[in-house]
Each structure stands twice: as C-alpha cells, then as structure tokens.
Structure 1
C-alpha cells in the first residue's frame, strides 16, 4: 500500500486557531473534514465588537 499525503498538517490547524485568537475570537472547537477543510467554530461566549450601525 502506498503512502498518501495527509490532507492537512498540524501546522495548518495551529495557524487557523492562532489567527482566530489574534482576531480576538474565542475558539470553541475545530472541525476537519476528510478533504482537509479546516473550520474554526467560535465559542458561544465569543464577544464581538458592536458597531454603531448595528444599533438601530
């Protein structure tokens, strides 16, 4: 059986999580599908900045 290349690497997940944290978001979990697509899901207690345009 031939070795196949991994669809993602640990460094890819680390970069995605560090990017979300650097943006001020609270990471709840990370989902990775079979193709290697990485989805960072924010925690429920994540606070976002409220824009004056949002308050109407």
Structure 2
C-alpha cells in the first residue's frame, strides 16, 4: 500500500507503509522492526532500501 504525502504535491514523492513494504518484499521480522525504529512507520522506497542491512539480490 502506498500513501502520498499531502505537503509535497509531486507524484515522485511517494511514501510507503514500512510494514506493508517489508511484507511484500519478504524482509525478515527483525529487519522490519529495525527499519520502523530507524525511519518510522512511513518512508520513501529509497529510505527503506538504503537502510536495509541484507539487501535483496538483483537479478538481470
């Protein structure tokens, strides 16, 4: 699920629910708790991905 920040009206500033994003990306529970403590309940996709310790593998 994604939310738009009403203060920033541009569509490029998408804000995601950290718990829902972690569930959809199959990130571990301990990693999810760490992210919620670090960035809060809502964050951009870039903030979430840059603060992961075990980043998902990229397949080409």
Q: TM-score, normalised by structure 2?
A: 0.29
Structure 1 or 2: more helix by fraction? 2
Structure 1 or 2: more strand by fraction? 1
Q: TM-score, normalised by structure 1?
A: 0.30
